[in-house]
Structure 1
Amino acid sequence: MVIGASGQIGRPTVDALARDGWEVTAASRGGGRDEGWDDTVRTVRLDRSDDAALAALVGDGCDLLVDMVAYDAVHARQLTSLAGRIGSAVVISSVAVYDDGSGRNFDTLREPGGFPAYPVPIPETHPTVPPGEASYSTRKVDLERELLAAADMLPVTVLRPGAVHGPYSPLPRELYFVKRNLDGRRRRVLSYRGESRFHPASARNIAELVRLSAARPGVRVLNACDGQAPTVAEIGAAVDAVMGVETETTLLDGPPEGSVGRTPWSTPLPVVADMSAAERELGHRPVVSYAGSLPETVVWLTDVLAAGRDWRECFPFLAQVYPDLFDYAAEDAWYAA
């Protein structure tokens, strides 16, 4: 059973499991079906917050439960309460749980001097923020700890993705470059000399980790990112190559100047996850590179914008997180100055 099956990570996960021989029940709020899924995949509607509905769907039991949308300790207890009916679980967390050991983390990013100085790369044994209800990060730690505390009853693999990318994303960072190219913007500005690295995680590579974890149940916490962590300048060049355009990039030595130079990857220090544990424990190899995954993402984003809709309407969550992503007037004024 896959909860959150119609989402960005859920779609390729259902496909990977079905291709591996699993009889998959794809559960989501809308009960939708991806056109690429095998006909054997069963789709059902599920309200993730309804304990009784989840218990009824599990029924007499399932060999594997994959949870894409578990968020906090409440969701963890939902799963552990069904431990006797679930063979093993794979649950999605986030690299946002990491603390740098000095009280800096994803919750302090925008504070003066608050950007975390993580080791490169970050191992799964690195400290996390304290559990609690204060933020997304602390809630994810709460989720992880509740699950791991009950691991003797329910074997669980916790996966920590980085900057997830691929079609159907509610936060498509690649839009930063794709929309500029579609709008005919052939100049751009990148802060921190274009060297920022925020480790991307292809939804298809995460799905492969789910598939491997399903075949080898256990108790583990693994980073779930791509094989490489390109810089933001390399990401821009890769998008340009897919779209067949040439652009001119101006590099700022330091931080963005207002909105100019700010991208969804712009960080003063690298955030790069160590993927050696996944390779060692599961024999994981990425099924796609970042550049290799881009064509389907570019096509999807282009199609979404083709109807002429405002990008904020298409991607409200992205607009909430990065409201000034396309402040062309500020860029033009910066160039003129």
Structure 2
Amino acid sequence: MIGATGQTGRATVRALVEDGWTVTAASRGGGRDERWSGDVQAVRLDREVDAELAGVLGDGVDLVVDMVAFTAAHARQYAALTDRIGSAVVLSSGAVYADAQGRSFDTQDDPDGFPRYPVPIPENQPTVAPGDSTYGTRKIALERGLLALGDRLPVTLLRAGAIHGPYCRGPRELYFVQRNLDGRRTRVLAHGGRSRFHPVGVRTLAELVRLAAARPGSRVLNAGDPEAPTVADIGASVDAVMGVETETVLVEGGPPEPGVGLTMWSAAHPVVYDMAAAERELGYRPVTTYAESLEETVRWLVDHLRERDWREAFPKMAANYDLFNYSAEDAWLARREK
């Protein structure tokens, strides 16, 4: 397991051990999760160093699960090591998809740039072109490099939605959790609160990895929760876990002002992934829903934020997002009431 101490790796290690696998958990820090069984071997690995990856593989392994492969260079690593690997399961992303007009997540900030995908999105939907300029172009370059290995290395690529669960470095649920902790009882949601950006929990991803590990093959599969709730539904679910009551002000169209009504799920058009192929090819059946798995995420977030500012707890989010512009919200709400 490469990337074992990330949010998805932690859950997947447990699922594979429970399924009878002997797991070597590789990460840059070589750490462990306290919930892993004692026979999980934790090792240090800088996956950018080819010799280190080869050293961890040793004489060979039946399976590699990779949560941190991002580029064509990582696909080339596998090409040089196919004789040591039985099969692989590699995390990809729904960010690779493009719509019929070529719009993708890469164009979402352009005028009318947010993609209009079919609902749901099948795996044969067009994708962005491979390259090294964006997350999506790098991921599709990785995918194509791995699939080109054919019978030399069976690889299941999981195109994940918005990943959620404990230990996330960029938890979308923070938008609602922090507001509740700050005593904010009125919030604004753009697009009428109807935005749907398909989430996928770490337990769902772990189940898909477990099933793919037992059925090696070269394929691309979507990875999403059984349902894609609206952003308003997500806010209500967070409130239910935290035991608070809030008022939601729904605004049609985009954010009425910068910093008002925009969440990390907000989108002009729905993003929903078709899970039929995973059901058909792997025998996948849902193991949990978004709402059912939410309590673990919220409790972890509350504990992680205890007695420290959210910007200290999640520095990368603070550097990239303006999530809590309360002064702008209050000013807009005051003008709205006049």
SS of 1:228's partner is coil
Map of 1:39 onto structure 2: 38
| 1:317 positional shift | 2.0
313-322 or 274-283, larger mean C-alpha shift: 313-322
Unpaired runs of 5+ residues, structure 1, are none
SS of 1:167's partner is coil
Tell me the TM-score normalised to structure 2 length: 0.98
Please tell me whether residue 306 in structure 1 is matched to residue 306 in structure 2. yes
| 1:38 positional shift | 1.1
Map of 1:254 onto structure 2: 253
In structure 2, C-alpha distance between the alignment counterparts of 1:320 and 1:102, rounded to whole Å: 32
Deviations 1:75-127 (A, max 9, x none): 01111211011000000010000000212001001111110000000000000
Matches within 5 A, 1:1-337: 2-257=1-256, 258-307=258-307, 309-322=308-321, 324-337=322-335
Deviations 1:219-265 (A, max 9, x none): 11000110100000000000000011110000001101211111111
| 1:321 positional shift | 3.1
In structure 1, C-alpha distance between the alignment counterparts of 2:316 and 2:282, rounded to whole Å: 34
In structure 2, C-alpha distance between the alignment counterparts of 1:315 and 1:306, rounded to whole Å: 13
Tell me the TM-score normalised to structure 1 length: 0.98
Unpaired runs of 5+ residues, structure 2, are none
SS of 1:9's partner is helix
Deviations 1:241-299 (A, max 9, x none): 00111100000011012111111111010000000100111111121110111111111
Coordinate RMSD, CA, aligned: 0.7
Give the residue type in structure 2 aligned to 1:51: D
Deviations 1:106-158 (A, max 9, x none): 10011111100000000000000000111110000000000000022000000
Give the residue type in structure 2 aligned to 1:300: W
| 1:302 positional shift | 0.4
Deviations 1:23-68 (A, max 9, x none): 0000000011001111111000000101001001101000000010
Runs of 4+ in 1 over 4 A off after TM superposition: none
Q: Percent of aligned positions with the same letter in both sequences?
A: 67
Give the residue type in structure 2 aligned to 1:217: P
SS of 2:152's partner is coil
